[in-house]
Structure 1
């Protein structure tokens, strides 16, 4: 996908502002039914990932500390915080599970250092952590809980002036905690989620219904979790789901065909000609009532009922004869 393509997919002008890119992606994602149109989601995510690759890593020097820490009346000079250990883990080759605990430990250490620092140092550390989380989504998940709790971002996120990286961190932690609650209720969701990310789960181990339900829950309740989905694994899971749905439809059709009782020719003939006979009888009674003038209402009822039974009986007789003809033709061809 070249440069013009992914900006067209996101429907925004080229930019290096990650916040603008994320907002455009989130808006487009709401309009897509991920399961009904997986290729649209794949194209959108590919465009989002490509656009994020263009946005540079925003260093702490680009933050206005007075805006970032609006509660502080002091516009202290921004200090440089070495985030090399974080970047090595986040942008390295290790799996998300492997780097989760080390990132959490590093974040806890840095949060403690922020609390022991002066205002300028605390602002610099807080903004560095927030920036790293935003740039490292989804591999920065290990940093979320210690950062959100350590800096009390949950309370600050309710402020309309809250910096965008903090809002993202709070929302992502809420999404992941919601996912964990789902996994506690249904272990199949844990397997499905591992298959969608980098959990190394064999797709034969997936419970298809749980996978489909989980994707639906994510789409309509926690779309931010789609940031964590690996596109290649999503494509594989979608193929597995489609194969399962096709097999399920065939099984349902076969079960329905087997469950449908085959008509008994003798019964069909008896019902058809019996209804015709009953219809004729009722019509004769109606004719007798008409001639003897013994009751106009009884005449109408008998005549109407007779006509109905004649029509139904004749229709069943026609179907019965067509069925026998089809069987004879099939026997001749065989």
Structure 2
């Protein structure tokens, strides 16, 4: 069984882009949300990033899932996997295989904003698991958590340290929203990048080959195309820095010289001073005590904590 719910249309995405860019470029300092990195080119660039020697998070999370997926699904007691921000499926399959091994796999709900990419990936997975129902949800999980399918006993997974792209206030709101949509006994699985040395963190977000820099500048290509803007991406330098107080990596784009950008679709003109930054991403790094506290405030109880052998990345299971 395979079907799709569409809570986002192309027109919805355009409206969201318009709002995000207008609000972000009016802010001090200027910002652009990281979700706009991921058009087709951006997704391909990120896939290259995950294979770079400096970028440890994907390998570390995969190792943790490979070693502990069986323990995780036993502790969860679930029969349906809901994946928020569903990717290409490599990590997904580790959880699906663990569910199938204990004869409890009934359903899979991949959730993402990119409908075409999502359906292609879900179709491949459905072919591998013909007895599993696949319910695709084209949705923004930050806005549509209450609309997601509720059938079965669900394990809701947010992997890749995606929640680290939120500020602490954003994490609190998101965790509270998720808790409000989940039934007693259902579980949330978070993949979290852990605090480590500044040198390793910055290398992961500023690789020697410049792939991350191209990925960062891709957001300007997306804005140009979507809002008829005239950003010159090569006129901005990629900058990665470690915020010690907040314990997160920031990615920024820094104007090399004074410039003026026109966004025709917004009837907006924006000036940039030489050296001015636009923050395009935060990537929070976590400590166990802080994670437990944030989950507890949202009403969750931690049921398990697993890491990769190098203890770079954690998988935390929390129950409603």
Higher relative contact order (Cα pairs below 8 Å, separated by 6+ residues)? 2
In which range does the TM-score fall when normalised by the shorter chain?
Answer: under 0.3
Larger radius of gyration: 1
Q: TM-score, normalised by structure 1?
A: 0.21
